[in-house]
């Protein structure tokens, strides 16, 4: 996996000597490197650090986290940078959007104390030293998968360019998450198919055992009395033929012929069972 080149510090991004063109070029390189990392990665865990690093650079954020919906549609931390366990426990599960909301839009909170919905969280924000924050939706094909949280240590109003870049990073991660879900579904389907094949194999083996038992019965158990009928009929015909009338001899010959036909039918049954 190709590592993302080190991102310039925020100080260098704000340096008066750096031109707008150079900054845009650096951002493009960072996003391209992030896309390469996502394409080469086999797990989300290896992508998260690069995503957080990209976010803090392109959005001039001090800290960033990734939260994704779990199976119960609750927001859970997937990756975080620079947050205390106390704060994580306090805010985990919070989401400004419903789990089934389509085309969620970014929510920017420049002054948290002016946002009524964040009133219960204000003590935690102050303890964590968070002055401004932003909710960036992570969505794929209109389906909300999770969110980015961007934190600023000083009051910060995100620019339109920063929001656009944050949404771009969100699109990259959404594709990676969707791909991971598809891989997990494929693995589950393969596991189900393998289980089905194993069950069918056991059924086939059982059917084969039953067929082998049938073939053994045809070859041995049924042929034994048939051989007796044929053998004793021939002995009777040979040894007592001079004292038997033609009707008795005809009956014996019919028994022998029927035994031969029965033997032929058994042979055909064995051939059919092998087919």
pLDDT digits (tens, 9 = 90+) for 220-274: 777 788 888 888 888 888 888 788 888 888 888 899 898 888 888 888 887 877 7
pTM: predicted TM-score of the whole model, two decimal places: 0.61
* DSSP β-ladder status, 75-80 and 63-69: antiparallel
* DSSP β-ladder status, 132-140 and 143-152: antiparallel
Q: CA-CA distances (angstroms) from residue 230 to 225, 227, 237, 244, 250? A: 9, 5, 11, 18, 14
Q: For position 152, what pLDDT does the model report?
A: 95
Q: For position 77, what pLDDT does the model report?
A: 92
Q: For position 23, what pLDDT does the model report?
A: 66
Using 50 as the pLDDT threshold, list the residues of the chain that sit under it: 1-17
């Amino acid at each position: 996996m190709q590592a993302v080149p080190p991102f310039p510090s925020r100080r260098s991004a704000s340096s008066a000597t750096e031109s707008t063109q150079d900054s845009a070029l650096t951002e493009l390189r960072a996003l391209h490197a992030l896309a390469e990392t996502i394409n080469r990665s086999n797990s989300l865990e290896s992508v998260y650090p690069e995503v957080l690093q990209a976010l803090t650079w392109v959005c001039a954020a001090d800290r960033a986290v990734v939260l994704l919906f779990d199976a119960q549609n609750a927001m859970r931390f997937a990756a975080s940078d620079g947050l205390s366990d106390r704060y994580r426990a306090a805010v985990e599960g919070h989401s400004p959007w419903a789990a089934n909301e389509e085309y969620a839009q970014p929510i920017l909170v420049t002054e948290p104390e002016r946002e009524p919905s964040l009133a219960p969280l204000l003590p935690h924000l102050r303890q964590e030293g968070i002055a401004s924050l932003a909710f960036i939706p992570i969505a794929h094909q209109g389906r909300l998968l999770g969110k980015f949280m961007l934190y600023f240590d000083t009051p910060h109003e995100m620019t339109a360019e920063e929001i656009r870049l944050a949404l771009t990073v969100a699109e990259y991660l959404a594709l990676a998450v969707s791909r991971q879900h598809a891989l997990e579904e494929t693995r589950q389907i393969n596991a189900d198919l393998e289980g089905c094949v194993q069950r069918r194999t056991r059924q086939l083996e059982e059917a084969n055992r039953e067929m082998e038992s049938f073939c053994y019965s045809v070859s041995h158990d049924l042929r034994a009395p048939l051989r007796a009928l044929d053998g004793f009929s021939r002995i009777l015909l040979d040894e007592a033929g001079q004292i038997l009338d033609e009707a008795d001899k005809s009956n014996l010959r019919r028994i022998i012929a029927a035994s031969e036909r029965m033997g032929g039918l058994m042979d055909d049954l064995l051939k059919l069972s092998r087919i």
